[in-house]
Amino acid sequence: QLGLGVATEINADEAYHAYREIRLLVLSVLGLTVLLLASLLVRLTRSREKAVGLAENATLVSNQLQKEISVRRKVENVLRESDEYIRAIVNSVLEGIITTDESGKIETFNPAAEKIFGYKDSEITGTDFRILVADTHQGLLEKRFERYRASGTSGLPGSSLELKGRRKKGTVFPMELSISEMRPGVTRKLTMIVRDITKHKRLEKKLRQLSSLDGLTGIANRRTFDRALDLEWQRASRNADPLSLIMLDIDFFKDYNDSLGHQAGDDTLKKIAGTLRILFKRPGDLSARYGGEEFVVLLPQTGPGGAGLLADRLRSEVEMLGIVHPGSHISKVVTISLGVASLVPKRGSRPEELVSEADKALYQAKDEGRNRVVKKDLIEHTVELKSGAE
């Protein structure tokens, strides 16, 4: 059999050309794909680097914040401890510590202040500080506060004042007030330190008394007499008033001590001083121990007549004490001799003149037998008043 077939002529160049175009297309697509993948890879790499950088920055920021938080906590702890420490000190001191605003309104009041004034912190906070000051010193403090509010330089801050304080019960007491200024911000505040100086004042008074009194007899001493004589001399000179002085001495006192001992002698001095206290009570009269067994009595506004009568009465009162004197040459009991001088101070004269004349009169009384009064009247003339043993 004869087979039939179809013969087709294929051009090799055309086929190869088509193949090449397809190949180029595939390669182009592959190239673009590679480029896209490479670009994506670069972007991914950069994103990763940024992410790593951000993470590192976040870590640094976190660490820094942790450090700052730690430092802040430490500072807060230090401040808290400091505040507690300061509060503990303020609450333990013996002085009252009070803080106020610039107008004087109380803001804090420590336990010592509570004890001094009798107020609790809760009831006094917000009250004007001047409630703690006696009425007699309100004006002084108010003026200082007014100047301070106006200028801030009133002399309040840094000043120390002695004022009369007033307790809750209304009692008044001496206090020392020290004031200083604080400026914690834009506002001005005051810190006041208060001391109750009642005991201090009592001690001062006692010391003044001790320094002015004779330690044995309890009457004025020589120093006090000298000061009083100067003052009364000046006053009498201005007013042309008479001024009298009695000077007295225990008769045969050395013999008394030799016979009975110094303790008995001290007891006798005390008894005579007691008689002086009883007899001379007028304001201005001053009895003093002048030295040893010698006493003086200063009599302002008293002339020779009155001074002489008082001296004679004193001589009699001492004799009537009946103190046995085994060493006396004139009596069985203790007696005294007295000299009295009276004058009106003149310009240019000195107090020593009165003392000198009284001393002369005393020695004259001794020379004439003791247990007597001799009066020197320097105003008019010299007269003797004699009594007792003749």
Q: Is 357 helix (H, G, I), strand (E, B) or coil?
A: helix
Strands 159-166 and 172-182: antiparallel
Active site residues: 293
Run of H or E residues at 163: strand 159-166
Q: If you search the block for the tokens 């950069």, which residue do you land on? A: 46
Say which residues have a Cβ less than 8 Å from residue 390's Cβ, sequence separation at least 6: 369
- Distance CA(212)–CA(289), nearest Å, equals 11
- Distance CA(360)–CA(329), nearest Å, equals 22
Q: If you search the block for the tokens 């059999």, which residue do you land on? A: 1
Please classify residue 8 by burial: count the beta carbons closer than 10 Å to its beta carbon, then call 0-12 exposed, 13-18 middle and 19+ buried. exposed
- Distance CA(124)–CA(110), nearest Å, equals 11
CA dihedral 103, 107, 112, 117 (to 10 degrees): 60
- Distance CA(337)–CA(340), nearest Å, equals 10
**Given phi > 0 = left and psi -120 to 50 = alpha, else beta, which region is 203?**
alpha
